């Protein structure tokens, strides 16, 4: 009887530890709905190259250096670019070019947090990718093996169009006023006309002329691709433009599709946290085998203790898997 009670108590401790490790991450990832700035870390899109790099190579070392530099720099400035491993004494296969940028209206502390979120996620979203980009609501990060910095590129990377607003002349007039302002923006622009709002942003590596051309292309695509949509987003390689009808965005509605990658990242990190717990539990089993005791219960039958210990671990993992499925769906 004493063995059974001890096993039940241990089972509950294992399951509780796994749940807590996962819940701690989930609660830290839930966006605050009190303001637009606090949604800066919400996922929008990611792009991953098909080419992969090999671990423990110069490229991986330079990538880690790039990500570390991005994290450090983001606390001081909202934009920076880097070229690492491109010197004459460095092997060309290790060269990396990259940048990050925050939305210009973010406070420095929010910019730093957003960029750090990008740094933490990009390796999970694009594992071993030779080139990758990640756009969150408030910031952006990109790296490539080839030099793309300062080179104009107006290719379409992402678009999102809502349902169309039909027979609403006033809305279309207000929207066109906003789009005209965004097209004339110098690097970053915010515009409001009645109940229509919008903003636009160029990457910091563009000249004024190239930024103007990029925004003109983005605004043109908003009209041609999304038509009379109540809300539309167009992200080109080096700039983006967005508009929406005031009050249109609802957190629960707008994030259903876009937050799937965010959920996937949460699952991955939750599983990693669970594995860390399992490592600790395995060490407990090892100590039990060495000492001849199973946690608080001692037995002379070492084989029985080993089976009991690992049965508890297996049961805990199965329960954690079932519970985590319920949490994220």
The 10s digit of each residue's pLDDT in 99-114 is: 999 999 999 999 999 9
Residue pLDDT, tens place only, 246-288:
765 444 344 444 445 555 555 555 555 556 556 555 665 566 5
Q: Is pLDDT above 90 for 142?
A: yes
Please state, as a whole number, how many other Cβ atoms lie within 10 Å of the Cβ of residue 56.
7
pLDDT at 283: 63
Question: pTM for the complete prediction?
Answer: 0.67
Whether the per-residue pLDDT at 10 is higher than 70: the answer is no
pLDDT of residue 92: 76
In tens, the pLDDT along 53-75 reads 999 999 999 999 999 999 999 99
Which residues in 186-221 are b (16+ Cβ under 10 Å) and which e?
A: ebbbbbebeebbbbbbbbbbbeeebbbbbbbbbbeb
Residue % of the chain over a pLDDT of 90: 56
Secondary element (H or E) of residue 263: helix 260-291
Instruction: Provide the mean pLDDT of the chain.
Output: 77
Q: Is the pLDDT of residue 47 over 90?
A: yes
Residue 123: its pLDDT value, please? Answer: 95
What Å distances lie between residue 266 and 27, 202, 263, CA to CA?
10, 30, 5
The better pLDDT of the pair 185, 309 is held by: 185
How many whole angstroms separate alpha carbon 67 and alpha carbon 82? 10
Is residue 222 a contact partner of residue 147, using CB atoms and an 8 Å limit?
no
Looking at the predicted structure, is the pLDDT value of residue 20 above 70? no
Q: Hey, what domains does the chain have and what are their CATH numbers?
A: 2-25+268-328 (no CATH), 43-149 (3.30.430.20), 156-251 (3.30.430.20)
Q: State the virtual CA torsion across 111, 236, 66, 123 in degrees, nearest 10.
A: 90
Q: Which CA distances in Å does 143 have to 100, 237, 238?
A: 9, 12, 13
Burial 265-279 (b: 16+ CB within 10 A, else e): bbbebbbebbeebbe
Contacts 24+ apart (CB under 8 A), 182-187: 182/215, 182/219, 182/241, 182/243, 183/215, 183/216, 183/219, 183/241, 185/215, 186/211, 186/212, 187/104, 187/211
Average pLDDT rounded to a whole number, residues 203-224: 95
Q: Helices 260-291 and 108-125, interaxial angle, to 10°? A: 70
Integer Cα distance of 166 and 230 in angstroms? 9
pLDDT band at 312 (very low <50, low <70, confident <90, very high): low
Residue 39: pLDDT band (50, 70, 90) is confident
Given pLDDT bands bounded at 50, 70 and 90, which one contains residue 325? very low
The answer on pLDDT for 24 being more than 60 is no
Strands 231-236 and 293-294: unpaired
Q: Using the predicted structure, report yes or no on whether residue 294 has a pLDDT greater than 80.
A: no
- What local confidence, expressed as pLDDT, does residue 165 receive? 87
As given in the structure block, the two tokens for residue 130 are 């030779």
Q: How many CB atoms lie under 10 A from the CB of residue 292?
A: 12
């Amino acid at each position: 009887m004493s063995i059974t009670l001890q096993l039940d108590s241990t089972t509950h401790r294992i399951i509780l530890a796994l749940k807590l490790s996962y819940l701690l991450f989930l609660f830290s990832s839930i966006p605050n709905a009190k303001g637009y700035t606090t949604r800066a870390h919400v996922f929008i899109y990611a792009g991953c190259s098909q080419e992969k790099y090999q671990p423990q190579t110069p490229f991986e070392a330079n990538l880690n250096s790039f990500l570390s530099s991005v994290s450090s720099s983001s606390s001081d400035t909202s934009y920076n670019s880097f070229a690492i491993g491109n010197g004459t004494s460095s092997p060309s296969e290790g060269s990396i070019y990259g940048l990050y940028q925050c939305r210009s209206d973010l406070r420095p502390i929010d910019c730093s947090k957003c960029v750090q979120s990008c740094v933490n996620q990009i390796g999970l979203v694009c594992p071993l990718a030779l080139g990758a980009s990640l756009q969150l609501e408030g910031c952006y990060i990109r790296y490539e093996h080839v030099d793309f910095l300062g080179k104009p590129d107006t290719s379409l990377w992402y678009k999102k169009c809502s349902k169309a607003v039909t027979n609403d002349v006033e809305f279309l007039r207000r929207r066109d006023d906003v789009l005209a302002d965004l097209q004339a923006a110098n690097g970053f622009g915010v515009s409001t006309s009645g109940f229509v709002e919008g903003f636009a942003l160029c990457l910091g590596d563009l000249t004024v002329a190239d930024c103007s051309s990029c925004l003109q292309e983005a605004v043109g695509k908003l009209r041609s691709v999304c038509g009379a949509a109540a809300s539309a987003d167009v992200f080109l390689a080096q700039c983006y433009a967005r508009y929406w009808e005031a009050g249109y965005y609802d957190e629960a509605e707008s994030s259903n599709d876009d937050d799937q990658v965010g959920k996937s990242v949460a699952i991955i990190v939750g599983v990693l946290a669970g594995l860390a717990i399992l490592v600790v539990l395995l060490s407990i089993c090892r100590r039990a085998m060495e000492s001849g005791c199973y946690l608080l219960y001692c037995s002379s039958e070492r084989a029985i203790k080993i089976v009991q210990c690992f049965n508890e671990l297996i049961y805990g993992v199965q329960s954690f898997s079932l519970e985590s499925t319920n949490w994220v769906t």
